[in-house]
Structure 1
Amino acid sequence: MDSSIKRKGPSLWLLGLFDQLSFMSDLDVQIPTAFDPFADANAEDSGAGAKDYVHIRVQQRNGRKSLTTVQGLKKEFSYNKILKDLKKEFCCNGTVVQDPELGQVIQLQGDQRKNVSTFLVQAGIVKKENIKIHGF
């Protein structure tokens, strides 16, 4: 490229692109709304007699560290006793956190999703079909 030629202002390609964008915004085109893949699931959960699911999630902390959360257990269970057994079984640390929206949530160190789900089923706390495992 010749160093003596210097461009001042935007290139012709960009000007053409801006003309196209302004032309496209002048049209009255109805853009369809985005498809919500969870609409059916939300409709099923909001109905009467919806199942109470136990949600087991994993959250990334920093680096390789992760955190497993368990929410949705029935209120009649002692969260502290369940936490004590989980910590002893999986050799990890954990805590019970009080959330204003979700209620009590059990947090465990590490990715313990499969371990927690099998433990809850074997202990008879939750049926297998009422467990939802989330995460990456």
Structure 2
Amino acid sequence: MTSRVVFDKNIDAFDEAQHDDKCPQKEMVHIRIQQRNGRKTLTTVQGLSDEYDLKKIIKVCKRHFACNGTVVDHAEWGEVIQFQGDQRANIQRFLLGVKLARAEQIKVHGF
């Protein structure tokens, strides 16, 4: 007697293993640095889940990193957080520390 196994092609077997119920973040978070004029730079954070209140994230980050920040509506990327200065390492540590994203979901771009 042989048993027949039917696989559903629409189900990703590894999706359950990658999903965390406490973390609503499903897409990649991109942290980029942009050169302004002279030595001045901007750090942008793109791809955070819509379930997060970006204003509260900015408020906490501004206090901890001693920098200014704002939410900008980008035509291609949607809502993007901008911080003054090179805050890439600080933002990455913050997102991992408060569990807003997992390590494999964060991509840091820059020089």
Higher helix share: 1
Q: In the alignment, is residue 60 of structure 1 matched against residue 35 of structure 2? A: yes
Question: In structure 2, the residue corresponding to 1:135 is in which secondary structure?
Answer: coil
TM alignment of 1:100-111, pairs within 5 A = 100-111=75-86
Give the total of aligned pairs: 88
> What is the aligned-residue identity percentage?
57
TM (norm. structure 2) is 0.76
TM (norm. structure 1) is 0.62
From the CA coordinates, give the structure whose radius of gyration is larger: 1
Higher strand share: 2
Letter of the aligned partner of 1:59 in structure 2? Q
CA RMSD of aligned residues (A): 1.4
**Where in structure 1 do 4 or more consecutive aligned residues deviate above 4 Å?**
none
5+ long unaligned stretches in structure 2: 1-11, 16-25
Question: Which structure has more RCO (C-alpha within 8 Å, separation ≥ 6)?
Answer: 2
5+ long unaligned stretches in structure 1: 1-47
Separation in 1 of the partners of 2:72 and 2:66? 19
Deviations 1:7-26 (A, max 9, x none): xxxxxxxxxxxxxxxxxxxx
Separation in 2 of the partners of 1:52 and 1:125? 12
